[in-house]
């Protein structure tokens, strides 16, 4: 996207609806501009009538007029700014909302690709820069451009020859600043990257603080942190230095201008072409013009910076995210879930994780996947709710590929307890009812009872209302798992996916939960990734997965005879249980 396109888009999608407010702000800018011009103009009668003609009446009136003009200038400037600050705030809010909701509905893959710290820097840093584009830029454009026009008017009014002289100097100044703008944009992009990195780093340090402590890596992390912070500092210094580079150029040009002007006006006064009162008014106008000229000349530096932020945000906001309502409605009858010749490769991986998988998860039965870690079991399970899509082959429900159903209806039918339990920093109750927001207290208690949560919830300081901390910080591994099982049970969906859902539980608790699952399982299609004997023996069908392939299938008895891998797996488990 070119810069012009970005600005057009920004106007069309974000600022157009505040046009009335912006116009109001422009009106106040107009007042600022005219009062500034008025101040310069008033010096002309002030000198002529008061100092030269010694008019006593005007000696009072003109200072009052000057005071009055300043008051108008000040309050208009306040109004013009406040209005734009509000518009900017709205634009920033909209951007932040859009980024958030875009991230919410983007694919698992897209989210996995970026570190969470990067997303945070888009929301904090970039959205703030784009806001500036609206507030600062519009203000500078209107207020300063109008003020400049007003002051140039005064200059021409006082003496057109001098005015022509001054005007020639203006393009010179802006030309110098222009070349700096592009550089600022580039450095800003670099700074944003480092900022994202910094965020990611902070997040990891907090998240992994125990690991850092046990391996005594405080000074190691400190060093890494110092490097990143120093890098960030360098970028920030660079941006601000480049921005400041305009100052000496501008000051030199101004000096040149005023020096030249005094020389030129001196010769005009000597030739009687200019009066002193006109000269002073002109000089005031020119001095007052200094600020808007400088702002306008350096405006593009900030603009480049802000546009480069918009360039990073728009692709995120506009990316083709998934529409969960797209596709036909999945009505689960008594259908199996069938994997047909399915091959899957993670984008980043260099070889396929799943290779021509064929398996059937029968309706109303429990199917188990068994295999070494890294075999691809979780991957198989994650393909069912379509966190990822296969490159080849398909998963079929009701005779159609699951890709033809809407994600909404597909996922409505699935409960998942994933390998890594995920909880929110909220109350126990809200964590359980996350799967069914309108659940009654009875339903929640029932789910908690079936997943053996009741006992430990009762012992918590506020029972169901206890806040459990970031990702269940204040719970044990087993407690976390039980809450996530309760959550899945509450959903009461037709398809249940359990990915080592009971791995952190002792065998007694596991058995209780297993019984509950068995009880709930009627009419439900269950796929479990199991590592415990009890679960496996209960399964109607077991698939042995090895290096992304199905290497054996059958029930417990038949596999003991037919699969060496299964047998050794079973024997090892037996040993453990002894
Ligand atoms: N998001 C991912 N990106 C790339 N590779 C992955 C990803 N998740 C898992 N893998 C790889 O896929 C293989 C299978 O992983 P997984 O299905 O989690 O195994 P299992 O659940 O059987 O232990 C592993 O080699 C793992 O490194
Ligand atoms: Mg796994």
Q: What are 133-154's pLDDT values in tens digits?
A: 888 888 888 899 999 999 999 9
With contact defined as beta carbons under 8 Å apart, do 393 and 340 qualify? yes
Task: Please give the Cα distance from 147 to 150 (Å, whole number).
Answer: 5
For residue 226, CA distances in Å to 201, 208, 229, 355, 504 come to 11, 18, 5, 45, 38
Q: Which atom of ligand 1 is nearest to the CA of 373?
A: 23
Q: Tell me what pLDDT residue 175 has.
A: 65
Q: Tell me what pLDDT residue 497 has.
A: 92
Helix axes 3-10, 276-318, angle to 10 degrees: 90
Give the residue, by CA position, lying nearest to ligand 1 atom 2.
346
Task: Please give the Cα distance from 332 to 400 (Å, whole number).
Answer: 12
Ligand 2 center from residue 376 Cα (angstroms): 7
Ligand lying nearest the CA atom of residue 545: 1
Instruction: Identify the three-state secondary structure at position 260.
Output: helix
CA torsion sign, 298 to 303 to 308 to 309?
Answer: positive
Task: Please give the Cα distance from 452 to 470 (Å, whole number).
Answer: 22
Burial class (CB within 10 angstroms; exposed 0-12, middle 13-18, buried 19+) of 449: middle
Q: Which residues of the chain have pLDDT under 70?
A: 170-181, 518-521, 576-578
Q: Which one of 344, 345, 349 would you pick to mutate in the ligand 1 pocket, going by the greatest count of ligand atoms within 8 A of its CB?
A: 349
Architecture in CATH for domain 3-313: Up-down Bundle (1.20)
422-492 belongs to which homologous superfamily? Answer: P-loop containing nucleotide triphosphate hydrolases (3.40.50.300)
Query: Order of strands, edge to edge, in the sheet holding 392-397?
Result: 354-361, 337-344, 392-397, 400-401
Q: Which atom of ligand 1 is nearest to the CA of 377?
A: 22
Same fold yes or no, 3-313 and 422-492: no
Q: Identify any residues that bridge with 541 across adjacent strands, giving them in sequence order.
A: 367
Ligand 2 center from residue 185 Cα (angstroms): 44
Q: Tell me what pLDDT residue 166 has.
A: 82
Ligand 1 center from residue 377 Cα (angstroms): 8
Please provide the DSSP assignment of 27-89 as one string. Answer: HHHHHHHHHHHHHHHHHHHIIIIIIIS--HHHHHHHHHHHHHHHHHHHHHHHHHHHHHHHHHH
Tell me, letter by letter, the H, E, C secondary structure of 280-325.
HHHHHHHHHHHHHHHHHHHHHHHHHHHHHHHHHHHHHHHCCCCCCC
Q: Tell me what pLDDT residue 577 has.
A: 58
Q: Tell me what pLDDT residue 23 has.
A: 94
Ligand 2 center from residue 375 Cα (angstroms): 8
pTM, to two decimals:
0.80
What is the maximal distance between C-alpha atoms in the chain? 121
Q: Of 516, 483, 481, 513, nearest to 499 (Cα)?
A: 481
Q: Which one of 354, 378, 391 would you pick to mutate in the ligand 1 pocket, going by the greatest count of ligand atoms within 8 A of its CB?
A: 378
Domains in the chain: boundaries: 3-313, 322-413+493-578, 422-492
Ligand lying nearest the CA atom of residue 372: 1
Q: Tell me what pLDDT residue 338 has.
A: 94
Q: Tell me what pLDDT residue 357 has.
A: 92
In sequence order, what are the residues at sequence separation of 6 or more whose Cβ sits closer than 8 angstroms to the Cβ of residue 322? 105, 106, 107, 407
Task: Please give the Cα distance from 297 to 295 (Å, whole number).
Answer: 5
Residue matched to tokens 């209806």: 409
Ligand 2 center from residue 542 Cα (angstroms): 16
Q: Which atom of ligand 1 is nearest to the CA of 419?
A: 21
Task: Please give the Cα distance from 134 to 102 (Å, whole number).
Answer: 22
Ligand 1 center from residue 526 Cα (angstroms): 21
Ligand lying nearest the CA atom of residue 345: 1
Give the residue, by CA position, lying nearest to ligand 1 atom 3.
346
Ligand 2 center from residue 416 Cα (angstroms): 13
Ligand 1 center from residue 353 Cα (angstroms): 7
User: What are the pocket residues of ligand 1 if the criterion is a CB atom closer than 6 Å to any ligand atom?
Assistant: 112, 346, 348-349, 353, 371, 373-379
Query: Order of strands, edge to edge, in the sheet holding 366-371?
Result: 414-417, 495-499, 525-529, 366-371, 541-546, 549-554
Ligand lying nearest the CA atom of residue 376: 1
Pairing of β 541-546 and β 366-371: parallel
322-413+493-578 belongs to which homologous superfamily? Answer: P-loop containing nucleotide triphosphate hydrolases (3.40.50.300)
Question: Token digits for 97?
Answer: 């909302």
Ligand 1 center from residue 422 Cα (angstroms): 18
Q: Tell me what pLDDT residue 520 has.
A: 67
Ligand lying nearest the CA atom of residue 377: 1
Q: Which atom of ligand 1 is nearest to the CA of 369?
A: 22
């Amino acid at each position: 996207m070119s810069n012009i396109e970005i600005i057009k888009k920004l106007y069309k999608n974000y600022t157009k609806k505040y046009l009335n407010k912006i116009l109001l702000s422009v009106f106040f800018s107009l007042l600022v501009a005219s009062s500034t011009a008025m101040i310069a103009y008033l010096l002309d009668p002030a000198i002529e009538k008061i100092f030269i003609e010694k008019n006593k009446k005007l000696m009072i009136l003109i200072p009052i007029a000057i005071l009055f003009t300043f008051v108008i200038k000040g309050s208009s400037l306040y109004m013009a700014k406040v209005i734009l600050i509000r518009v900017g705030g709205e634009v920033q809010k909209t951007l932040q909302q859009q980024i958030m909701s875009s991230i919410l509905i983007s694919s698992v893959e897209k989210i996995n690709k970026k570190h969470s710290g990067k997303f945070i820097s888009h929301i904090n840093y970039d959205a703030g820069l784009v806001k500036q584009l609206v507030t600062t830029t519009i203000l500078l454009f209107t207020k300063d451009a109008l003020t400049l026009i007003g002051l140039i008017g005064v200059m021409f009014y006082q003496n057109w020859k001098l005015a022509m002289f001054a005007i020639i100097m203006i393009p010179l100044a802006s030309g110098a600043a222009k070349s700096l703008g592009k550089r600022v944009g580039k450095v800003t992009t670099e700074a944003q990257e480092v900022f994202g990195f910094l965020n990611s780093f902070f997040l990891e340090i907090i998240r992994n603080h125990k690991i850092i402590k046990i391996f005594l890596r405080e000074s190691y992390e400190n060093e890494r942190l110092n490097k990143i912070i120093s890098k960030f500092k360098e970028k920030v210094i660079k941006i601000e230095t480049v921005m400041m580079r305009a100052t000496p150029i501008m000051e030199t040009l101004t000096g040149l201008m005023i020096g030249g002007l005094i020389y030129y006006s001196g010769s005009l006064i000597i030739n009687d072409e200019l009066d002193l009162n006109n000269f002073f008014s002109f000089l005031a106008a020119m001095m007052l013009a200094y600020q808007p000229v400088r702002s306008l000349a350096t405006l593009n530096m900030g603009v480049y910076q802000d546009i480069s932020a918009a360039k990073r945000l728009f692709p995120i906001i506009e990316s083709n995210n998934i529409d969960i309502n797209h596709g036909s409605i999945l009505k689960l009858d008594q259908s199996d879930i069938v994997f047909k010749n399915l091959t899957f490769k993670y984008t980043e991986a260099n070889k396929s994780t799943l290779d021509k998988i064929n398996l059937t998860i029968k309706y109303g039965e429990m199917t188990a996947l068994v295999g070494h870690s890294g075999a691809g079991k979780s991957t198989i399970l994650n393909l069912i709710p379509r966190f990822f899509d296969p490159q080849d082959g398909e998963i079929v429900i009701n005779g159609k590929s699951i890709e033809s159903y809407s994600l909404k209806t597909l996922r409505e039918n699935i409960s998942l307890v994933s390998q890594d339990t995920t909880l929110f920093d909220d109350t126990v109750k809200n964590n359980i009812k996350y799967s069914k927001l309108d659940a009654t207290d009875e339903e929640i208690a029932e789910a908690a009872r079936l997943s053996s949560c009741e006992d430990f919830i009762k012992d918590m300081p506020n029972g169901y209302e206890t806040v459990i901390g970031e990702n269940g910080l204040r719970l044990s591994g087993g407690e976390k798992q039980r809450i996530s099982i309760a959550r899945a049970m509450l959903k009461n969906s037709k398809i249940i996916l359990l990915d080592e859902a009971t791995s952190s539980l002792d065998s007694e608790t596991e058995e209780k939960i297993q019984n509950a699952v068995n009880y709930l399982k009627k009419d439900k299609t269950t796929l479990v990734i199991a590592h415990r004997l009890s679960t496996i023996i209960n399964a109607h069908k077991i698939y042995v997965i090895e290096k992304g392939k199905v290497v054996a299938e059958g029930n417990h008895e038949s596999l003991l005879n037919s699969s060496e891998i299964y047998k050794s797996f079973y024997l090892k488990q037996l040993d453990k249980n002894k």
